Amino acid sequence: MKKRALGGDGFSVSTLGLGCMGMSEFYGPSDDAENLATLDAALERGIDIFDTADMYGHGANEELLGRFLIKRRGQVKVATKFGILRSDNPDARPIDSSPEYLRSACEASLRRLGVDTIDLYYMHRRNVDVPIEDTVGAMARLVQEGKIRALGLCEVAPDTIRRAHATHPITAIQTEYSLWSRDVEAEILPLTKELGIGFVPYSPLGRGALTGALRSAGDLAEDDFRRTIPRYAPEVLSENLKSLKALQIVADRQNATPAQIALAWLLAQGEQIVPIPGTRRPERLVENAGAVEIKLSSKELASLSASFSPATILGSRTTNVGSALIDL
């Protein structure tokens, strides 16, 4: 698989990464044997950037990845995150981006992953009461100590990005971006291009909606957290899924799947973009990897962009709790 550069410091990764969150939580039950097989399939297809976070499965996701890395550390770049605290209250998501917590969180992630250095360390969400210069300054000290290699920020505002980048070079910004979620096109994406920062879209397949496999809200497991997101409410989802007709038309023309076309569209939005579609099934991993070989015409790109204009997609992309955590 071809490589793309994130940031300006030589941090090169595969054109597609792998989001590992769903292997441990949020999308219903999973099987670790199948998860590990999916990680193997990713390496076989040349995918070398694996994305996790300390809060996924209360640390279980990092531990899973750590078991995989025992014999494969040199082949994988690990991205993980700090800042979102877990509690017994599912409606609460405290944020701690203080230098003190950052250091302890990094040490804990290193232990769970079984590595000496985290390749890409993200501030998962920002506590606006902590100056971003303090947080990034503390992250920079961890770089000096060899505990992390590169810095990333998730779901942050343009001013936060500029201030952070002035403190220490930021390698990647991670925010939701797909045909279904295009907020970043107004300011964030142009800013990453201007500053030479990589952009890592999470949920690039609309949390499964752009694959064509999700037909209605009834397809979601009872404990699937998408049931709490307004965009996936039964009556709203049925309206939103109508937009997939345009995706299927292009997929049929390209002899591809809707998921592959959605990823190909995203990859065409900029060379600094490295999507991290999540899956826990090897066959889906192989399907997603095939997107890098698809070249969409300018007409197809324009048609998809028009069919999925932000005004046509109903409902918020996050839960009410999640919306409160986004740095605006």
Instruction: Single out the residue of 74, 47, 21, 52 nearest to residue 122, CA to CA.
Output: 52
Annotated active-site residue in 27, 56, 101, 177: 56
Phi, psi of 286 (to 5 degrees): -60, -45
The answer to whether the beta carbons of residues 5 and 51 sit under 8 Å apart is: no
> What's at 290, amino acid-wise?
G
Residue 320: exposed, middle, or buried by beta-carbon count in 10 A (0-12, 13-18, 19+)? exposed
Q: Give the chain's length.
A: 328
The answer to whether the beta carbons of residues 167 and 138 sit under 8 Å apart is: no
> In the structure encoding, which two tokens stand for residue 263, read together?
């990823």
CA 308/CA 225 separation, integer angstroms: 24
> What are the CA-CA distances from residue 53 to residues 45, 56, 148 (Å)?
23, 6, 14
Alpha-carbon radius of gyration of the chain: 19
Instruction: Single out the residue of 118, 197, 120 nearest to residue 156, CA to CA.
Output: 197
101 flagged as catalytic:
no
Angle of the 282-289 helix axis to the 258-267 helix axis, nearest 10: 50
User: Given the DSSP bridges, would you call strands 172-176 and 148-154 parallel, antiparallel or unpaired?
Assistant: parallel
CA 196/CA 201 separation, integer angstroms: 16
Give the active site residues: 56
